Structure 1
């Protein structure tokens, strides 16, 4: 599973700022919503559960970076991870905001090269800065759907989320994070083109994924593919992260849709 091309990561300072920005937008989506409502894209969760998941992840990552952990840290050993007791929306909102501030402060103090435990070979605080941006971003999409709000983000951030996901899948952690990844063999010889139709040229929001018997290779490119997924960047992102069905009228699928179906059936977090 390979990629050839320049690194276009957003930079540590930008990731730190985006953790705060994405959390603030999540909080806005939750404000006034029924926190007991089921999240359609995470049906085991209510909106309150989703908020606690994101806030707990922030505190977990903050502890890993602050303590310079060299091994996995169980979440139940991290103070504050469960969130506030009771059902008070104001307390949950304040807890979310506090966790994002704590995480951002710790990441900024550590810098991107600080050595810490990660579940990929990266082994640096910079991994957690980027990961927590996209963890929050994708769960914002979940929250917006459940709360009946529109979802949008900076296309540059959304494109980086696609990059990060492909990097994770193509790395040593891929088969662990996505246990059915070997099922991509069913579409060997096929290819997928992702095209964000509303992104500025400098964002380069196009990707080609080529499947083979061993896995896949990917590039940021405009190429003829077996199947193409086209639409606004926010909607391409949501389809790619299984937050929007590929047959939604918000996107367009051109070519052999079965190849995209195989990808969607075999690629997921957990």
Structure 2
């Protein structure tokens, strides 16, 4: 058992460091840097803003979050016991509260050029979906956990795409929110590695698949962003950001799946 705990903590440590770096780099380059601000402004201006987006983006409300947490808690209670039930309720709530604290009170977006730039880092909506997806992966029985991670990738990819396509957020806001949700559960894994009841069906296969998809899409998005910058193409810059969000979503879901296993 000691070896499993050590392996789980080692994995949680690496995931914490990696995603904390993603969050910090996103903030520094996208929020605190003039070139980053201008690039994100190009993508934001190419978006078609709407106040009435389709699901799943329009499903977020205090009531829906409360219901989701209740369902997650009950699911985890029957699948894993009281401790896991408490964890999957408190961690998302803490992550969501932290995102609001960071965005509204602790972090600032300086106006580095002529732009009305209120702070939107990290995205509250993206934090909600990331934290609830993480909780669902941790709450369900091991047998379906990997499949839930795949579904979570699709959900997070759709939400990140919507947030950018409808002009609700800048790319850095999305990446920062993904990082916040993953780090919250990685810190929990550092404190107490998750234990698995039963085998994670297709766990290794899906983990490798999510890693491949995530990195391929991320690198493709970086190439698109470079081409968009050279051509001064706003629509292409937005597309690059959207694909970047999809790739990062796959990598986030993979990290959450690995954390839920608690061992190497």
User: TM-score when scaled to structure 1?
Assistant: 0.31
Structure having the larger proportion of residues in strand: 1
Q: Give the number of the structure whose residues are more often helix, by fraction.
A: 2
Determine which structure has greater relative contact order: mean sequence separation of CA pairs < 8 Å that are 6+ residues apart, divided by chain length.
2
